[in-house]
């Protein structure tokens, strides 16, 4: 019997020692390798209220906690109780100072649109001017007022409340246990609108799991609360512990889908419409487009809008306010920058472009054919004037040919045309125009007004010469 008692005492002592050690260490998360088969991210964090008393946030961070979701308000319509958590700002500032990402929540037993509206207004009044990396959650867990309601009745006013939170510039989410998401909350209606899910599931354990290993909610939730009786560094009481399955609350991304941005040369006075849809992981508070002088980053145009949503179409007002047609010649860079609900500023797009007039080509040469002549792209200069004179003579000749075609006295018309052809050949007008056209092409002047004048004159000279030859019988 004594041997049995000694063995029992030894086992009891060992059990006590293990319990004490476990409590001191806290319910620590397993290594990341334990969960790699379950989710792409496995990030530990806690949620707290005044009941966790004075928290040493530096110790919590050192223990490995990466985020904290802090209660802001508690509202019981059933009892007429409306309470602002007295430690909210203390916890908010302490967690952020320790480097944790922060979110917050409102506990409410609201069931109607009016009740939710009243509660969210109270919440927003206390978080005005604050930023959060994690969402602002509505904590739904009232068994007496909410759980028995059908989802078709309870979900619509809940969504209205979430919309109010996002319209105020915060990313919104819902906290509830799995039973609530199965019975009174339409999970699909929540997630299809882009709202976040924080789900509690203790898997038949009253107080929660000692470890999250072996379970996975990553397919249905962004965050899983796996215990209400955890321990962690810096918290003197038991605390709710959570696993976050996504990095998006830590590395907020903003991008533009189907973007159309200026990336080449624009002509002065030319308009351009920026297009695309800005998409963010969190609610976008401000979206700013700037056009700056390249190299100096001094804005010459700026437009700012306030989407208060996770996506925003820039094809409308945003694009119209950027007046590309008013830009003078120069080199520019356009940037689209967003600030989301975390307060983080992200450059969503950047594009360089230039505003230049059509290339000016000046021709100055001592070539025997061209002489010392020059002309600009507007067709001014001695050469262009000479070509215009030739064109005028050709137009007069064309009129003569047209008249000769209907001349009652063909012989008279033919004699005139033969004389005109002799003049053309003697002066070499046709050949001169052809030579000028070839020379213009060789100098890569095809896109200048001068080349168009020469080319037109040359083509008309060929046509006129051929027509006159046919009428006079020179060509048969």
What confidence tier does 328 reach under pLDDT thresholds 50, 70, 90? very high
Residue 473 — pLDDT band, cuts 50, 70, 90? low
Q: Which residue has the higher pLDDT, 310 or 216?
A: 310
> Alpha helices of 244-381 — where are they, by DSSP H?
317-320
Distance of CA 457 to the CA centre of its chain: 53
Residue 321 has pLDDT above 80, yes or no: yes
The mean-pLDDT minimum among 80-84, 110-114, 131-135, 292-296 falls in: 292-296
pLDDT on residue 37: 34
Instruction: Give the integer Cα–Cα distance in Å for 145 and 29.
Output: 34
pLDDT at 203 over 70: yes
Which residue, 320, 323, 350, is CA-closest to 334?
Answer: 350
Contact call for residues 131 and 341 (beta carbons, < 8 A): yes
Q: Do 458 and 464 meet the contact criterion of CB atoms below 8 Å apart?
A: no
Task: Kindly indicate the confidence band of residue 422, based on its pLDDT and cuts at 50, 70 and 90.
Answer: low
Q: Model confidence over 137-174: pLDDT tens digits?
A: 999 999 999 999 999 999 999 999 999 999 999 999 99
Mean pLDDT of 391-415: 52
pLDDT of residue 470: 59
Higher pLDDT, 405 or 136: 136
The more confidently predicted of residues 466 and 30 is 466
Are β-strands 43-48 and 239-244 bridged in parallel, bridged antiparallel, or unpaired?
antiparallel
Q: Write down the pLDDT at residue 298.
A: 86
Domain spanning 27-244: CATH superfamily? Glycosidases (3.20.20.80)
Q: Which long-range contacts (CB under 8 A, 24 or more apart) does 109-113 make?
A: 109/75, 109/76, 109/77, 109/78, 109/142, 109/144, 109/145, 109/146, 110/75, 110/77, 110/157, 110/161, 111/77, 111/145, 111/146, 111/149, 111/154, 111/157, 112/157, 113/156, 113/157, 113/160
**249 versus 448: which is more confidently predicted?**
249
What's the mean pLDDT when you consider all of the chain? 81
Map residue 307 onto helix, strand or coil. Answer: coil
Q: Is 359 left (phi over 0), alpha (psi -120 to 50) or beta?
A: beta
What is Dmax (Cα atoms) for the chain? Answer: 151
From 143-152, 200-209, 423-432, the region with the lowest mean pLDDT: 423-432
For residue 9, what pLDDT is reported?
41
- Supply the pLDDT for residue 71: 98
Q: What is the pTM of this model?
A: 0.68
Counting residues of the chain whose pLDDT is more than 90, the rounded percentage is 60
| Tokens 């996504």 found at | 246
CB-neighbour burial class of residue 64 (10 A; exposed 0-12, middle 13-18, buried 19+): middle
Q: Check residue 130 and give its pLDDT.
A: 97
Residue 5 has pLDDT above 70, yes or no: no
Q: Cα(348)–Cα(394) distance, rounded to whole angstroms?
A: 60
pLDDT of residue 192: 96
pLDDT digits (tens, 9 = 90+) for 101-140: 999 999 999 999 999 999 999 999 999 999 999 999 999 9
pLDDT of the residue at 33: 31
CATH of domain 254-355: 2.60.40.2550
Specify which residues 418 forms β-bridges with: none
pLDDT the model gives residue 383? 52
State the pLDDT at residue 390.
Answer: 56
Q: Is the dihedral of CA 379, 381, 387, 389 positive or negative?
A: positive
Given a cut of 90, whether residue 416 has pLDDT beyond it is no
Number of neighbours of residue 377 by Cβ within 10 angstroms? 17
Give the model's confidence band at 208: pLDDT under 50 very low, under 70 low, under 90 confident, else very high.
Answer: confident
In terms of pLDDT, which residue wins out, 17 or 214?
214
Rounded Cα distance between 468 and 459, Å, is 14
Residue 399: the pLDDT is 56
- Phi/psi class of residue 340: alpha, beta or left (left: φ > 0; alpha: ψ in -120 to 50)? beta
Mark out the alpha helices in 297-381 (DSSP H runs).
Answer: 317-320
């Amino acid at each position: 019997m004594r041997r049995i008692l000694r063995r029992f005492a030894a086992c009891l002592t060992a059990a006590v020692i293990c319990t004490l050690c476990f409590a001191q260490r806290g319910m620590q998360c397993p290594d990341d390798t334990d969960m790699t088969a379950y989710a792409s991210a496995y990030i530990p964090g806690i949620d707290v209220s005044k009941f966790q008393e004075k928290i040493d946030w530096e110790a919590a961070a050192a223990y490995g906690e990466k985020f904290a979701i802090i209660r802001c308000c508690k509202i019981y319509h059933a009892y007429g109780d409306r309470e602002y958590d007295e430690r909210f700002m203390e916890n908010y500032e302490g967690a952020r100072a320790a480097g944790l990402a922060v979110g917050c929540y409102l506990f409410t037993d609201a069931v109607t649109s009016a009740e939710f509206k009243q509660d969210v207004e109270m919440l927003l009044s206390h978080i005005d001017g604050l930023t959060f990396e994690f969402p602002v959650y509505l904590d739904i867990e009232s068994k007496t007022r909410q759980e028995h309601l059908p989802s078709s009745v309870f979900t619509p006013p809940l969504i209205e409340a979430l919309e109010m939170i996002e319209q105020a510039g915060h990313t919104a989410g819902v906290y509830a246990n799995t039973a609530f998401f199965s019975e009174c909350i339409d999970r699909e209606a929540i997630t299809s609108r882009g709202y976040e899910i924080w789900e509690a599931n203790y898997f038949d354990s009253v107080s929660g799991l000692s470890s999250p290993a072996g379970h996975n909610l990553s397919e249905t939730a962004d965050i899983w609360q796996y215990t209400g009786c955890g321990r962690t560094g810096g918290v003197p009481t038991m605390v709710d512990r959570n696993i976050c399955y996504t990095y998006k609350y830590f590395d907020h991304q903003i991008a533009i889908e189907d973007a159309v941005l200026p990336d080449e040369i624009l002509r002065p006075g030319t308009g351009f419409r920026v297009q695309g849809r800005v998409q963010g992981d969190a609610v976008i508070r401000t979206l700013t487009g700037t056009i700056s002088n390249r190299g100096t980053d001094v804005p010459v145009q700026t437009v700012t809008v306030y989407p208060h949503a996770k996506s925003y179409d820039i094809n409308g007002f945003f694009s119209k306010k950027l007046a590309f047609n008013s830009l003078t010649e120069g080199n520019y860079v356009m940037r689209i920058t967003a600030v989301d609900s975390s307060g983080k500023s992200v450059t969503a797009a950047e594009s360089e472009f230039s505003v230049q007039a059509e290339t000016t080509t000046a021709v100055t040469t001592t070539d025997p054919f061209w002489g010392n002549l020059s002309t600009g792209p507007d067709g001014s200069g001695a050469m262009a004037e000479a070509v215009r004179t030739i064109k005028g003579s050709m137009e007069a000749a064309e009129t003569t040919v047209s008249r000769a075609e209907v001349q009652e006295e063909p012989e008279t018309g033919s004699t005139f045309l033969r004389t005109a052809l002799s003049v053309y050949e003697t002066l070499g007008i046709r050949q001169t125009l052809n030579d000028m056209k070839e020379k213009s092409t060789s100098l890569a002047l095809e896109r200048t007004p001068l080349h168009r004048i020469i080319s037109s004159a040359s083509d008309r000279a060929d046509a006129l010469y051929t027509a006159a030859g046919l009428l006079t019988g020179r060509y048969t």
